[in-house]
Chain A
Amino acid sequence: MADNGGKKITLKSSDGEEFEVPEVVAMESQTIRHVIEDVCAKNSIPLLNVNSKILSKVIEYCKKHVAAAEAAASKASTEEGTAAAASVTKPSDEDLKTWDAEFVKVDKGTLFNLILAANYLHIPGLLDLTCQAAADMIKGKSAKEIRKFFNLKNCISPEEEEEIRRENQWAFEEEKRTRAFDAYA
């Protein structure tokens, strides 16, 4: 299937560690793909913005997703009829989702670094997944809780904080979903 089936590429992290991966896996990153396609002689690509810990996680993600795509494609071409193929790919979709959910169960620091790496390397699926995980951590928390959870330095003066609170006051009021005028009666 893949023309470059055995061709490997070396990725070098910012702290000097080298990772040898199949080219098709590395190409999950659009950034890397452009480098390979523009300067095809390259065998080793330095990634100055990603350290080894994060790079190994990124590679893990790309390997899994490439393998899942290949499995789905080969099942679809061997199964008779699209209906049968559809019902076969469905469970593996679920498996992949479960795998993804586990993948982002990491500490906050690692998650944010993964977001930055996915952004820098242009891996849309990973960026989506990690941003959603970050959003899920934030959703529903109050400003105070957010500050505490993320260890944010708060350099806002009390006056400015009061002004911001007033600006966003509507978001903190109890949602009134029932008869509004009960309160006025």
Chain B
Amino acid sequence: MSTNGGLDGLEGLVLEMIVNRIGPKSAAALACASTRLRSAASDDTVWSRFCADHFDLSEPVDPDGNHLASFKEAYTAWAESFKMYPLELVKRARSFWTAMRNWLAANFPEALNTLNRGASENQIKITERTLGISFPLPTRVLYRFCNGQLTDSETKWLTNYGIIGGYELYNHFVNVHLLPLKQVVMTTRHVSGDLDFMAKMNVVTVATSLNLRKLFFLDCNRGQLYVGTQNMATDGELMPCVPESLVKLGDGADMLQDGLMVWLEEHLRRLQSGVIGTRVLRKYPSISLFPEAPPLCSTAVTNGVKVRASAVFIPECSNPGAEGPDTDRYLFAYSIRISLLPQGCMLDGAYYSSCQLRSRHWIIRSKENIVDDVRGEAVIGNYPLLLPGMDEFVYESCTTIPAVPGSIEGSFTFVPGRLSKPEGREFEVRVALFMLEEPRYIF
């Protein structure tokens, strides 16, 4: 069995192996070269592999989700629709949004319902023209797969459904949403009146808390994502949200990535690994930025009382650029969760079915130096009474430190029984040390 010296003498699996290696463009060329090669180069198994490799497709669907008759048709539709982007970028953006939607479907379906479908090239073009900017390529592709979230200001409960999430601290409520292009335009225009730096820097707002207490800006020239600090309005002070070295927009062989893409991918990683998750706040679920898992969340159990603690950097209330060695530059919110194990409170060999908090003690460090040593009654005015197996008592407070990194550790004093009717001696419950980290990624 020898071929007549020709390529078209090869058949079946062998030809398929070759076609798989030449890639879709050359496969199309091959299809035009001869009748025999046309069927091999059009074989749908070959095209299903191209679809999977290049667009992360497992079904023959077009970019709008409509089912098509073959993978070859699907590849053609996608190639046509995304021809203005490097393939790897398209695949990366699609993979991100698929994974994010999957996570939301399993953990936060209410937020999944707020995600808009992808924007069209035309919509992106119009946005850019209106604002007089050009989005970095990675951001454009991200918007092609999802045009932000529903932000209907009429619907109050929507405020909890930001996919970036947030926290509540005294009456400072923050929950960050990814803005749809229309909102990008409106919010950018709205805030640039007050923020002079915006015109100079060519930035647009891409994510905000709907009450505008926290704003994230995309620098369209350099591709970095920034968050406004407390001095944003007065000094134009911003902080980068991802490590500068990860922003790669240059013309190199390297994969393109901008601040928004890197930021979103890191956020998704944290959600997937359980570092952060959802929590019910003001009666509705929302994504909480307080870490839930070690090492950022510490846990300690003393005499049956379990305390979990973690902190989050609050850029919009911080002033990293402020002068002076002892100036409090970094504000951190921390969340403390206290509960009583099912076996109850064990003290001096005796068992108690309840215990109540009396006072707290915190030691706050900034770069290894103790900057605060506070004692006080109650926690945010509360004396939580713990019963076995009850839901965690959770509260948030905050502290400021002059330099990062820092840490907090401390203890609570409890009495078995109740404060009004103690059943035994006071005892100390440890709060294990938790870090106030230098913010490399800021969400």
Query: A interface vs B, CB < 8 Å?
Result: 49, 51, 54, 108-109, 112-113, 115-116, 119-120, 127, 131-132, 134-135, 138-144, 146-147, 150-156, 161, 164-165, 167-168, 170-173, 175-181, 184
Query: Do B83 and A173 have beta carbons less than 8 Å apart?
Result: yes
Closest A residue to B21 by beta carbon equals: A135
With both chains docked as a complex, state the minimum distance between the C-beta of A30 and any C-beta of chain B, in angstroms. Answer: 15
Bound complex: CA A120 to CA B10 (Å): 12
CA distance A103 to B84 in the complex (A): 40
For residue A170, which residues in chain B have a CB less than 8 angstroms away from its CB? 28, 76, 79-80, 83
Contact A147 to B34, CB < 8 A, known contacts A171-B28, A181-B125: yes
Query: How many angstroms between the C-alpha atoms of A113 and B38 in the bound complex?
Result: 21
Across the interface, B18 reaches (CB within 8 A) one of A51, A108, A138, A140, namely A138
For the side of the interface on B, what is the size category? Answer: 35 or more
Q: Nearest A residue to B77 by beta-carbon distance?
A: A170
- Asked if A171 meets B34 with Cβ closer than 8 Å, knowing A109-B3, A152-B8, A180-B121, the reply is no
Closest partner residue, chain B, to A113 (CB atom): B2
B378 within 8 A of A: no
Cross-chain contact B10 with A147 (CB below 8 angstroms): no
Residues of B within 8 A of A168 (CB): 28-29, 31-32, 76
Question: Smallest CB–CB gap between B6 and chain A, Å?
Answer: 6
With A and B bound together, what is the CA distance between A71 and B83 in angstroms? 49
**Shortest distance from the beta carbon of A116 to any chain B beta carbon, whole Å:** 6
Contact A135–B22 (Cβ < 8 Å): yes
0/1 interface trace, chain B 23-58, chain A, CB 8 Å (1 if under): 111101111111101100000000000000000000
Contact A150 B35 (CB under 8 A): no
Complex Cα–Cα for A87 and B22 (A)? 33
With A and B bound together, what is the CA distance between A19 and B33 in angstroms? Answer: 39
Which of B8, B32, B125 has the largest number of chain A CB atoms within 10 A?
B32
Contact B30 A51, beta carbon cutoff 8 Å: no
Q: State whether A152 and B37 are in contact (beta carbons under 8 Å apart), knowing that A119-B14, A180-B121 are contacts in the complex.
A: yes
A171 closest partner in B (C-beta):
B28
Known interface pairs A113-B2, A150-B8, A164-B32; A140-B13 also in contact (CB < 8 Å): no
Alpha-carbon separation in the docked complex, A116 to B2 (Å): 8
Q: How far is the CA of A144 from the CA of B32 in the complex (A)?
A: 8
* B89, chain A: closest CB distance, angstroms: 10
B residues 98-146 near A (Cβ < 8 Å) are: 121, 125, 128, 134
Q: B residues within 8 A CB of A135?
A: 18, 21-22
